[in-house]
Chain A
């Protein structure tokens, strides 16, 4: 357990010390969301109708942007070989790295989303549902992204390839996350959507490390 915790803290410290990482992801997220009023016009009714979709899609894209630093730097400098040789199961290593990725990507996105929701005129009563949905949905984004990140190690143009691979996998998260906000706005109750969103994350929790670890073993062969 301790080596995995050590890996988690190490990854966390690295991305915090390199400074730019969280800031870049947040900056991209905020910019992507703020592009939409320029694109569709500033009418509050229109923006409020599509606000949940804008924020969720921008969150997906921001997650995808940051996926290549999950395994690629360790793969390039040989650290991944050492990690694979250690006694920790590779699946738990993926979980530890995925958790560190979530803390530096998903969590900041979730925390800044209420502020952005105001910019895109989301009905204030739906902001808690949006934030909670992002909170339980972004871990799934990190986990599914770990699969894609591991599969593309050593590929040509890994960055754009990861986005092509992972966006179809992200669709259920997007559908349930935005559906929750719309259901709460229609006063139908977002419970079903949020439960399904949680189910996707919980299903990804054991399954994604399995797939990502298999992909890592392929890359390290």
Chain B
């Protein structure tokens, strides 16, 4: 399956067909999830209406973590098998993951204010997500720091692998640090085990966020591939050939991708 989509042109063709359907599915599921979670799901007996922030916060947190694992997997594939699309996928996914992390932090902060009375607490989980955010930012900065985009993508791949190895160590040390500096009041995040009437819309929102991520990822990958083509065109300065008879042109510039 991986080698099937190693050809950028085939990826562009298949993704061009899939993208509108994916976008429609994403809009549908997100719309359903938002209506269900904002209007139909019952308010929590303890937290009242502000529990509804959870329906954005938790899926965003799940995506923030999952996207980092995805970037690490894509980086592994890029470095070991030199898959041509893997490092593009990683570089394309990073800003989306950083966005999810930011949404998670911001919604958590907005949720925390009515719940705990504080905009921010140095809880182990919050601190880990903050560090994850900076890992994302470092990755994005590294990938964009080079004039040659493929050099940047490869360096970023290596950084993502270093990050994924270090992530359990960082989480462990943050947990350690937190247990030593335990605040006076124990904060209970999420309350008791979640009822099915809240779990189902949460699941729908999670699926919707996943579809949103996939749609954005494919869109960004297509853009990145088109950017590479435009770069190649400007570097080699050749006009688009007319028909199939000019074999002096590079294969990459043979057709215009929509």
Contact = CB atoms under 8 A, between A and B. Distances in A.
Contacts of A169: 162, 166, 170
Interface in A175-191: 175-176, 179, 182-183
B165 A207 contact: yes
A175 B145 contact: no
B138 A172 contact: no
Contacts of A147: 162
A167 B177 CA distance: 17
A16 B153 CA distance: 36
B145 A157 contact: yes
B165 A179 contact: no
B131 A168 contact: yes
B151 interface: yes
Contacts of A200: 169
A5 interface: no
A95 to B, nearest CB: 17
Given A179-B177, A179-B180, A155 B170 contact: no
Given A152-B145, A161-B141, A168-B135, A182 B180 contact: yes
Nearest to B145: A155
Nearest to B155: A151
Most A C-beta atoms less than 10 A away, residue of B138, B142, B154: B138
B158 interface: yes
Given A151-B155, A196-B173, 14 more contacts: A154-B146, A156-B147, A161-B145, A164-B137, A164-B138, A165-B141, A168-B170, A171-B131, A172-B166, A179-B176, A182-B180, A211-B158, A211-B161, A215-B155
A40 B151 CA distance: 44
Contacts of B170: 168-169, 171-172
A175 B131 contact: no
Interface in A87-131: none
A218 B158 contact: yes
B158 A171 contact: no
25 contacts: A147-B162, A151-B155, A151-B159, A152-B145, A154-B151, A156-B147, A161-B141, A161-B142, A164-B137, A168-B138, A169-B170, A171-B170, A172-B166, A172-B170, A172-B172, A172-B173, A175-B176, A179-B177, A211-B158, A211-B161, A215-B155, A218-B154, A218-B158, A219-B155, A221-B151
A171 B142 contact: no
A183 B180 CA distance: 9
Nearest to A207: B165
Nearest to A211: B162
Nearest to B130: A168
Interface of A is mostly: helix
Contacts of A205: none
A214 interface: yes
B174 A155 contact: no
A100 B146 CA distance: 28
A183 B177 CA distance: 11
Interface in B26-53: none
Contacts of B146: 154-156
B134 interface: yes
B134 A175 contact: no
Given A156-B147, A211-B162, A218-B155, A171 B173 contact: yes
Given A171-B170, A171-B174, A218-B151, A151 B142 contact: yes
Nearest to B156: A151
For B131, B146, B172, B173, the residue with the greatest tally of chain A CB atoms inside 10 Å of its CB is B173
B131 to A, nearest CB: 5
A167 B158 contact: no
A201 to B, nearest CB: 12
Nearest to B133: A168
A155 B156 CA distance: 12
A211 B163 CA distance: 11
Contacts of A218: 151, 154-155, 158
Contacts of A207: 165
Contacts of B177: 175, 179
A156 B162 contact: no
A171 B173 CA distance: 8
Contact of B145 (A156, A168, A176): A156
